[in-house]
């Protein structure tokens, strides 16, 4: 295990300690230190199987306030409470419906968040003023040990500054959070790369608010009928949001992003024609393609998210590629479109949001 302090800029207030710890080498003393930071009201960024989380004590209203301020996130956008053991659930919810018990049996620990009615133990600062609470039990070993060491309830949104893609590597957490939080645990790259599936169990029927690795089909193997929020794949600008958090525009890259859908040949031809046009206007261009197509593009910066047939790899690479395009200061971005089977639906949901639902069919 390597441990180091790193450079802090003069104008930042908090000294951020960076430590490395992966699932295979859990250091109990270090976990205890990180847990103590959270218990004392501080913030620790840590790896999970989905993306890096920014953790604070979920039952301490001051910690939630600190999370919002470190992220620059509006405080009516609710946080997900992370637990490590099923026994911890009782204290934070009013009741555990059958559906939640069944889903927990099958998918916890794992990348599934359930919305339940909150108990009085959960402050409104954590739930963005709602009477419901979002709960998840991650499977990542470091996350679980940290949650236990921190007292059992860790509020953790993704560890990015608001408006940036969720971090899938510790270096992106450092970029966004250095000087703003007490500690960052570098656990290497994450497994899934997209945020958890969110299912609301407080409505008449279970409803998916955000797609993720756990798909509707997988949920329906346990619960007979699961609905999907209508805004998952469609423009939501005209709809009233289900929860305050859903009204916020998701990450959008600095460049103007358009998705192009069609046969491989037509997509390449269309994008290259557009790029030639933008080049005449002296615009810096970028493309999000796949291993098979990326060499065909004539943009200034061409990035592959992997093999088209490997949707799990695409999910894992998408946020990294979006960050790299931002870092390269491209002004115009074209992305290929992806299949919406399985985790592909979550990939397209994030990409459509990033593109403000701009999609062209060629
Ligand atoms: P994350 O950005 O991964 O921290 O996820 C937080 C998102 O979970 C919020 O933006 C909401 O969309 C959703 N969420 C959290 N708590 C609730 C809740 N009580 N009711 C509905 N959605 C929620
Ligand atoms: Mg987030």
Q: Looking at residues 79-96, what average pLDDT do you find?
A: 98
- In degrees, to the nearest 5, what angle opens at C-alpha 347 toward C-alphas 344 and 348? 90
Between the CA of residue 138 and those of 75, 82, 86, 266, what are the distances in Å?
Answer: 24, 7, 11, 41
Q: How far is the CA of 163 from the centre of ligand 1 (A)?
A: 15
**pTM, rounded to two decimals:** 0.93
Q: Lowest-pLDDT range, 172-186, 211-225, 246-260, 297-311? A: 246-260
Between 139 and 73, residue with greater pLDDT? 139
Q: Is the CB of 77 under 6 A from ligand 1?
A: yes
Tell me the two tokens of residue 21: 């710890």
Query: Using CA atoms, how far apart are residues 85 and 153, in angstroms rounded to an integer?
Result: 10
Beta bridge partners of 112: 197
Which pLDDT score, from 0 to 100, does residue 231 have? 84
Q: What's the token pair of residue 361?
A: 């069919």
pLDDT in tens, 277-303: 999 999 999 999 999 999 999 999 999
pLDDT digits (tens, 9 = 90+) for 144-189: 999 999 999 999 999 999 888 999 999 999 999 999 999 999 999 9
Q: Mean pLDDT score of the chain, rounded to an integer?
A: 93
Q: What is 52-103 written as a DSSP string?
A: -EEEEETT-HHHHHHHHHHHT--TTSPPEEE-SSGGGTGGGBS---HHHHHH
Q: How far is the CA of 323 from the centre of ligand 2 (A)?
A: 14
- What's residue 76's pLDDT? 83
* Distance in Å, CA 15 to ligand 1 centroid: 29
For ligand 1, whether the C-beta of 122 sits within 6 Å is no
d(C-alpha 121, C-alpha 267), whole Å:
53
pLDDT at position 243: 63
């Amino acid at each position: 295990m390597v441990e180091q302090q790193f450079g802090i800029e003069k104008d930042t207030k908090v000294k951020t300690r960076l430590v490395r710890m992966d699932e295979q080498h859990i250091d109990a003393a270090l976990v205890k230190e990180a847990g103590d930071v959270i218990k004392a009201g501080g913030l620790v960024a840590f790896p999970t199987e989905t993306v890096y989380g920014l953790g604070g004590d979920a039952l301490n209203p001051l910690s939630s306030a600190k999370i919002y301020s470190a992220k620059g996130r509006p405080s009516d956008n609710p946080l997900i409470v992370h637990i490590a053991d099923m026994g911890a659930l009782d204290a934070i919810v009013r009741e555990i419906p059958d559906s939640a018990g069944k889903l927990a049996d099958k998918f916890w620990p794992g990348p599934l968040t359930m919305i339940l009615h909150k108990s009085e133990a959960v402050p409104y600062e954590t739930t963005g003023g709602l009477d419901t609470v979002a709960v998840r039990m991650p499977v990542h070993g470091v996350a679980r040990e940290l949650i236990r060491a921190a007292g059992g309830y860790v509020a953790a949104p993704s560890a990015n500054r608001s408006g940036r893609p969720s971090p899938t590597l510790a270096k992106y957490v450092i970029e966004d959070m250095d000087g703003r939080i007490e500690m960052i645990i570098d656990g290497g790259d994450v497994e899934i790369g997209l945020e958890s599936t969110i299912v609301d169990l407080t409505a008449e029927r279970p409803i998916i608010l955000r797609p993720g690795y756990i798909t509707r089909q997988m949920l329906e193997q346990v619960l007979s009928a699961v609905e999907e929020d209508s805004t998952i794949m469609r423009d939501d600008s005209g709809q009233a949001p289900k929860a305050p958090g859903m009204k916020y525009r998701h990450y959008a890259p600095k460049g103007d992003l358009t998705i192009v859908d069609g046969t491989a040949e037509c997509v390449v031809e269309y994008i290259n024609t557009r790029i030639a046009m933008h080049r005449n206007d002296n615009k810096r261009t970028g493309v999000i393609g796949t291993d098979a197509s990326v060499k065909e593009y004539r943009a200034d910066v061409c990035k592959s998210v992997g093999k088209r047939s490997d949707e799990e790899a695409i999910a894992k690479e998408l946020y990294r590629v979006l960050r790299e395009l931002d870092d390269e200061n491209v002004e115009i971005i074209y992305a290929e479109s992806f299949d919406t089977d399985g985790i592909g639906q979550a990939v397209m949901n994030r990409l459509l949001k990033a593109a403000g639902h701009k999609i062209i069919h060629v």
